[in-house]
Amino acid sequence: MKFNFSLDTAIIVTLTAIFLFALGQAYLGGLLRPFYVDPLVLNFSVQDKIYWGFIKGQAPLIYFFIISTLFYVSRYIFVSAEIDQKIVNLLRSKIKLRLPHEVKPHNTSLEDERERNYSVFTFTTIIIYMLFLGAIFSLSHIEQKGKAVGQTVLKDMEKQPLVKIIGMDTDLKQYRILCGSALCAVIDEQKNVSLVEPKNVVYLSYNFAEKPEKNS
């Protein structure tokens, strides 16, 4: 079986980018869910979501590459070893045992080719369904992972950068949750969440000072 290397590479790169984008979207959605903020409001770019998907979804990405590689290898073996033809011959022999007499088609080569194509199509469809189910479970896992991080931030906000919002007069400490291209999500010590423009967010010098270690 011959493969079109350029086409196969383009397909793999495209599917990988889509998978990373979906992982990034799922992670950001899970992270911001405890704060009732939609990632679309913060306006993350496509590159940002692919980056988040790569950083936070390395384990699903590795599984994706392993399964994809196994798919191409197994499909190549399936065709080159003529396993599909053996399946066709097995099914044909079973049918022959049940028929009172053998009916020979007019064009056996065309019939064989159709049956081979059908077996290859069936095998490919099964693998695609497996990849689809794996992708669904990966997205669910990465979303729950992001949600757990968001809940941790909500419980212990002091681990986030301490910021000040220009034009907002308040004595409450404010912490940055996450910034997108258009807006930043900020939470204060009373757990009030605000959406402000990134240019109005000032990172206080407290973040860069050496903090004393807490005694365990």
Region 82-93 average pLDDT: 55
CA 103 to chain centre: 51
Supply the DSSP string of 14-57, one letter for each residue: HHHHHHHHHHHHHHHHHHHGGGT--HHHHT--HHHHHHHHHHH-
Distance CA 95, CA 102 (A): 9
pLDDT (tens digit per residue) in 123-174: 677 777 877 887 888 889 899 999 999 999 999 998 899 999 998 888 899 9
DSSP state of 115: H
Distance CA 19, CA 137 (A): 12
Q: What is the CA radius of gyration of the chain?
A: 28
| Domain enclosing residue 11, as ranges | 5-155
Q: Shortest CA distance to 183 belongs to which of 193, 191, 173, 174?
A: 193
Instruction: Say if residue 54 is in the same domain as residue 11.
Output: yes
Distance CA 212, CA 107 (A): 84
Instruction: Say if residue 96 is in the same domain as residue 185.
Output: no
Instruction: Say if residue 89 is in the same domain as residue 177.
Output: no
Instruction: Say if residue 22 is in the same domain as residue 57.
Output: yes
Instruction: Say if residue 26 is in the same domain as residue 42.
Output: yes
* Total count of domains within the chain: 2
Supply the DSSP string of 89-128, one letter for each residue: HHHHHHHHHHSSS----S-HHHHHHHHHHHHHHHHHHHHH
Instruction: Say if residue 30 is in the same domain as residue 124.
Output: yes
Instruction: Say if residue 126 is in the same domain as residue 170.
Output: no
Instruction: Say if residue 41 is in the same domain as residue 140.
Output: yes
Reply yes or no on whether the pLDDT at 1 is more than 80: no
Instruction: Say if residue 33 is in the same domain as residue 114.
Output: yes
Write down which residue in 137, 155, 173 finishes a domain: 155
Q: What is the CATH number of the domain that holds 188?
A: 2.30.30
Range of lowest pLDDT (78-82, 157-161, 204-208):
78-82
Tokens linked to 70: 């196994």
Write down which residue in 114, 138, 155 finishes a domain: 155
Instruction: Say if residue 164 is in the same domain as residue 140.
Output: no
Q: Edge-to-edge, what's the strand order for the sheet holding 201-203?
A: 193-196, 184-188, 174-179, 162-165, 201-203
Residue 80 pLDDT grade (very low, low, confident, very high; cuts 50, 70, 90): low
Percent share of the chain, pLDDT over 90: 38
Instruction: Say if residue 151 is in the same domain as residue 195.
Output: no
Cβ within 8 Å of residue 81, ≥6 positions away: none
Say if 216 falls within a structural domain.
Answer: no
Say if pTM beats, i.e. exceeds, 0.75: no
Residue 12 burial by CB count (10 A; 0-12/13-18/19+): exposed, middle or buried? middle
In the block, residue with structure tokens 């669910």: 140
